[in-house]
A and B are shown apart, each in its own frame.
Chain A
């Protein structure tokens, strides 16, 4: 009976996860005319792609760190509020809006004729081009990832037994010591999930870099897009994809939480 019920999920996994991954691995060993080759891998390991990889990691790292710096205090404050579910909802609602729409909204805000610049103009300051810079890229990415980071952190802070915090006060801890010695250590699992959920997609952002960063930020995500859509070199695109998956597995292993490690 159990097996029968598991069948649809198994089928789903095979068709939408396992098969595509194998297809991708297969393509990564093909050159443009369909012959088996290791050429793509050789090219990836050449300096150009390595630089791109480092670039991707660097941006993903920046995005994750800034998102964390914003989200942790936010989650902490929400967990202390009276109507916490309401405020959490306020944070989550933007995730219901399509990423593209949000990105275009930022173009409206940051653009040369956007809201921010008209405010600057009012104060008699120069107009500056905020768009098409890594600043814009990181700002928008951080904005998009904040809810995904806040949610797991909020959940783990909220799950901390109130008596533990009282016990720390009881033993003489100040609010700051209670935070650093009890709350933060006990919410690390949430932080790890938040990092996973941010860092991994941030490695392969491509739409954002195209739209907000111009072509200033080149990451593995943009490389894949370019190989598939512009160069029509599926082999090379797949190779980059394979590496991306390897990196993601690596990141997941590094940030795995206690419960996941068996």
Chain B
């Protein structure tokens, strides 16, 4: 079977208000991904557009973006798994190439949250859970993760200070990332003294929704070697789901969708957690990063908080995590987020991550979760 590689990556600056149209926003990421490649738009066999439709004003945006990038008459379609949409996009691109159907596929993720009024955004926030059984109680995305945080604290003695340490680390890298929305360095006190949103999560435990786009150009092995100086190989893809209802979860101290997606990805790649040189994990909240350490096998269950306390996830630590600032600093433009994580790992493996390069990184991992642990995607990349 054909090998599959990523040959181009790009993202827009993530910002609270981008001030351009969705098609122009997507162009920013696509331009960065395509520049320097020995291919043009005519070599792209298909495009996959990723976003969360509840935030889109434009109906069926894939057709529009395909037109703007002059990718017609090549096939285009839309995929969605909320916050992990563009990792799902990469998974589908990988499959299309593996099947022999296509040689080059463009994955484009976006979200323009500023197109909604705050009233519209609050209305959508109310429909994120099961609309019959859980939304009528007023559940929100932060509340779902807060319940995981509370259970993790009770079972493993994880503290709010340890959660704050995740934000402190990520803010130190976000400050160096020119494409991040939030570029201030934060202290433990800043996080601990911020307003409670949904206990025990405070404002700085939470990422901010943003406008943004990302793009990944995926190619068949032979093409990748021809068009790219340093193709980055997709060696493991894992995906899994968990229930939409919180009451359906078997565990409230770890995300089973992450654990299962990781198991698949490690098995396909033939690597173990200790082989990973650098990782991007889905830190929509500080607790999410601690859960990810455990769910991905970087720490044993209950020992995730110790990993951050010992600074093992800093760039010079045992397993560097989110050394681009993570969602917490970059911001979270739902459909674009996975592509941004993938871009960071590709730049790390190429040795181009000038802001915070992990020396000699050869194998990287991307962990991208949709909803409150509802859709899990884990992708393993190798130089």
Chains A and B bind each other:
no
| A interface residues with partner B (beta carbon < 8 Å) | none
| B interface residues with partner A (beta carbon < 8 Å) | none
